[in-house]
Chains A and B, each alone.
Chain A
Amino acid sequence: MKEILWHGRGGQGAFTAAKLLGAAFALRDDKSFALAFPSFGPERRGAPIRAFTKLDNKPIGNRSEIEKADYSIFLDDTLLVSSSLDELKGNGKIIVNTKQSFDDERIIAVDADSLAEKVLKRPITNTILLGAFSAVSGEVEISDIENAIKLYMPQKLHAKNIEAVEQASRLFKEVK
């Protein structure tokens, strides 16, 4: 099982990304299963929130929050702290939206804000980080994510977000 932990602030779309990833993975064939859920409780715009996606090739019975992740994805780098590395499995990786660079090969920096400004014309980076995740992990294809966007985002957002996912994936591959 691959476990993906999402960190963001209320309103940034972390749970939407967690859900889109689950849908992208689980709807691609009959052998793929996913669970996606937010940290439960009252929601507040701007407050730190977490969301969870679990991916497996068999039905997933464990509905508990993820304690150790294969990928921990930060939509907001103010939430990234040194103890964030403790949330990773042995070969786990952090993908973070930031303009900084890190001298730690476990931390992959993506300037999603700049790309969001260019493509989406607003500071929403959730689908960009989804595209980056696809490029980094190889767990889902870009086409699967596009399918999920078409199914579960409002139609007026489809084109721009699909463009954002594709550019994020390309941007990342160039960086690599």
Chain B
Amino acid sequence: MSKHFLSGNDAFAYGIRLARPKVISAYPITPQTIVVERLSEMVEDKSLDSQFIHVESEHSAMSCAMGASSVGARTFTATSSQGLLYMAECLTYASGGRFPIVMMNANRSTALPWNIYGDQRDSLSLLDSGWIQAYAENAQEALDLALLSYYVAEHKEVQTPFMANLDGFVLTHTYEVVDVPTQEQADEFLPPYETDNKMDLQNPRNLAFSAGPATNTAFKYKEHNGLLNAKKIISEAETRFNEIFGRQYTGLIEKYKSDDADYIIITLGSISGLVKQTVDELREQGEKVGLVRIRYMRPFPNEEISQAVQNAKAAAVLEKDISFGNEGTVYTNVNSALKKFGVEVPVSNYIGGLGGRNISEVEIKTIFSSLKTNPSGVNFLGIGVNDSE
């Protein structure tokens, strides 16, 4: 391994190069552009042996990726925001066709009002598209997810496409130290992609077919199971990853000082770094606070979150998302998990960071202190609105 000073986009591109995709199809969009720019440079300077296809739209990017995957090629694409939404039609084709494409999504606000800055409404609005969804905290995790994603997606028990999410700008455009593994290590972790789910003249089969009312449910059930199986395979992949690279990840969630915490913030993505720092500071003052970081939104960590917060006095879900007319989508998912496992800890919802609005340390402290008094409702950080009825 060697240490480099890289942005999240750079780090992800380095990780993808180590994964040796055979086909990359992409259309540039801020703040994703740099990851595909870097990969095109790597193909140009021959440090990556891959077909780079600059398509004319995101819809084509995903269609092209499916075509490549359907002949057994390891495939990569990347997008963001409106690009992801334009691609949405193709997402269910990829997941239903069981094509284990890896896509990086640079989380960015969706229009209107037009905005290029980071929030997570783009990917969270597509939770039901049948893709695995992971959220990175920092550039190191971004690079590592590039490798882990193929291991999980291509596993025979999973066969599901994988969306790795990086917060736009605060992660994609922020430079930090990253350990870049060697190609030998990466090859040991990730052998070439092999699958039966491909067009093959020696072994002809039907791919990407129709299924009528009589059989459709069975296919959807299998798809659902592929995602559920990913839980086990993520854990297996992380164990193997640690053996080779010496970094241990923690499955669907990361618990940070939450085991004995009275008050817990549940969140996802790069804002977790600030929450960790605030937890450390408040712990020094004797406050029993902690963080539960959701690493995977699909498959969803129902049991893990329930166990992590069951002994707390209160918890808050902090997310860069709002499902208009209801509440934050992560909050909905967390509440459903707690209900299923009979956990009756009060949980409030904080909507922050929309359109790239800064979330400050003071705001994190305010969330923790609000949990002591009256945790309730849907709160919009920065504009002083509490939606509780």
Contacts and interface: CB of A to CB of B under 8 A. Distances in A.
Contacts, number: 73
Contacts of B173: 37-38, 40
A61 B273 contact: yes
B360 interface: yes
Contacts of A63: 170-171, 174, 270, 273-274
A33 B273 CA distance: 14
Contacts of B3: 26-27
A129 B4 CA distance: 23
A61 B361 CA distance: 10
B358 A26 contact: no
A41 to B, nearest CB: 7
Contacts of A37: 169-170, 173-175
B358 A33 contact: no
B318 to A, nearest CB: 14
The contact size tier of chain A is 20 to 34
Contacts of A14: none
A131 to B, nearest CB: 19
Contact of B5 (A19, A42, A65): A19
A60 interface: yes
Given A23-B5, A34-B5, A65 B176 contact: no
Contacts of B116: 41-42
A61 B175 contact: no
Contact of A40 (B117, B138, B175, B270): B117
A64 B5 contact: no
Interface in A50-67: 59-65
B277 interface: yes
Nearest to A64: B358
Interface string B335-374: 0000000000000000000001011110000000000000
A148 B270 CA distance: 26
A148 B360 CA distance: 31
A15 B331 CA distance: 37
B177 A60 contact: no
A34 B174 CA distance: 10
B176 A26 contact: yes
B276 interface: yes
Nearest to B270: A63
A22 B175 contact: yes
Contacts of B174: 35-37, 63
Nearest to A18: B175
Contacts of A22: 5, 175-176
Interface in B152-182: 169-171, 173-177
Nearest to B167: A63
Contact of B177 (A27, A38, A41, A61): A27
Nearest to B356: A40
Given A34-B177, A60-B273, 10 more contacts: A23-B175, A33-B176, A33-B177, A40-B31, A40-B173, A41-B116, A61-B275, A63-B170, A63-B174, A63-B270
29 contacts: A19-B175, A22-B175, A22-B176, A23-B5, A23-B175, A26-B3, A26-B176, A26-B177, A33-B177, A34-B176, A35-B175, A36-B176, A37-B170, A37-B173, A38-B173, A40-B169, A60-B176, A60-B273, A61-B273, A62-B277, A62-B361, A63-B170, A63-B174, A63-B273, A63-B274, A64-B274, A64-B359, A148-B5, A152-B5
